[in-house]
Amino acid sequence: MYTEKVMDHFQNPRNVGEIENASGVGTVGNAKCGDIMRIYLDIDDNGIIQDVKFKTFGCGAAVATSSMATELVKGKSVQEALNITNKAVMEALDGLPPVKVHCSLLAEEAIHAALWDYAEKNGLVIEGLEKPKSDIHEDEEAPEEEY
């Protein structure tokens, strides 16, 4: 049901924890399934993500997508991080079962929420960044596809 990469990121998640005085913190959840994801970003003066941590309350797929999302944004610019989609997270994990696609959407939204927080704290406008939703509903998701 789950790929080796999903199992690896679930059993050995990368970047777990919190960042004190983080540049940006994003929290999103899905009230229907109960998953809650929080991502912390440490962004330097050049707009590069130097460190990223996460805390997730949820299923194995939620933990794995959080872990992979942090790996994908670390070392990237704010704009590059903004362009990381749930599809990129799923592809990096070699796919997710259709019923778990929403976990990758949470990961994408948590990154956006942390970037929004960073922009708000610093009086910045990040082109292409929209105010994030705190609750991701099943009916608002992209069509589920198998990868």
pTM summary value? 0.89
Long-range contacts of 94-98 (CB under 8 A, 24+ apart): 94/3, 94/4, 94/5, 94/6, 94/147, 95/3, 95/6, 95/146, 95/147, 96/2, 96/6, 96/61, 96/65, 96/147, 97/1, 97/2, 97/61, 97/146, 98/144, 98/145, 98/146
Q: Which of 39, 69, 101, 103 is catalytic?
A: 103
Q: State the chain's mean pLDDT as an integer.
A: 91
33 among known catalytic residues: yes
In this predicted model, what pLDDT tens digit does every residue of 37-54 receive, in sequence order? 999 999 999 999 999 999
pLDDT value for 143? 44
- In this predicted structure, what is the pLDDT of residue 31? 80
- Exactly one of 19, 25, 33, 78 is catalytic; which is it? 33
CATH 2.60.40.10 for domain 4-121: no
59 a catalytic residue = no
